[in-house]
């Protein structure tokens, strides 16, 4: 009887260890998806910039200006439906500059890309048209 209880306890510990490992792997995969989407966004905005003399217009959110452009696919790269569940995206543009940040799996961490070729981890969403 004791052997059975020990066996059940060991199986329970193994299950907990595996579920924690799966959770960590899922978070890393979600962060990789966010970073990949933003890298694709940078390429799409570069194409848009060439076609529009680097005039990105003024946009205070992800639904206006350069971020609403569908011909270069930018709109799909700022659409939260194309990101892991719960990802928050903030966009900003002012004529010649733009920036986008998206939340990562770890609370209080964000990934930021901008027109000044910055690609970096942040501790808050952007508030201007550039990463800090």
Residue 127 phi, psi (nearest 5)? -125, -5
- 3-state secondary structure at position 110: strand
Contact 28, 34 (CB under 8 A): no
| Residue 13: predicted pLDDT | 82
| Residue 90: predicted pLDDT | 96
Q: What is the rounded CA–CA span in Å between residue 13 and residue 1?
A: 19
| Residue 78: predicted pLDDT | 96
Predicted confidence pLDDT, tens digits, the chain (132 residues): 788 777 877 887 887 787 777 788 899 999 999 999 999 999 999 999 999 998 888 898 999 999 999 999 999 999 999 999 999 999 999 988 999 999 999 888 999 999 999 999 999 999 889 998
Q: What is the rounded CA–CA span in Å between residue 107 and residue 94?
A: 28
| Residue 132: predicted pLDDT | 87
| Residue 68: predicted pLDDT | 94
């Amino acid at each position: 009887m004791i052997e059975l209880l020990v066996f059940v306890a060991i199986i329970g510990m193994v299950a907990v260890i595996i579920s924690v490992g799966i959770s960590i792997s899922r978070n890393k995969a979600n962060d990789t998806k966010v970073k990949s989407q933003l890298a694709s966004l940078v390429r799409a905005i570069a194409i848009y910039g060439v076609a529009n003399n680097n005039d990105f217009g003024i946009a205070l959110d992800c639904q206006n200006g350069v971020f609403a452009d569908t011909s270069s696919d930018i709109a799909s790269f700022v659409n939260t439906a194309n990101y892991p569940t719960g990802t928050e995206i903030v966009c900003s543009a002012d004529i010649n500059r733009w920036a986008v940040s998206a939340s990562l799996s770890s609370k209080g961490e964000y990934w930021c890309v901008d027109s000044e070729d910055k690609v970096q981890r942040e501790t808050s969403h952007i508030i201007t048209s550039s990463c800090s």
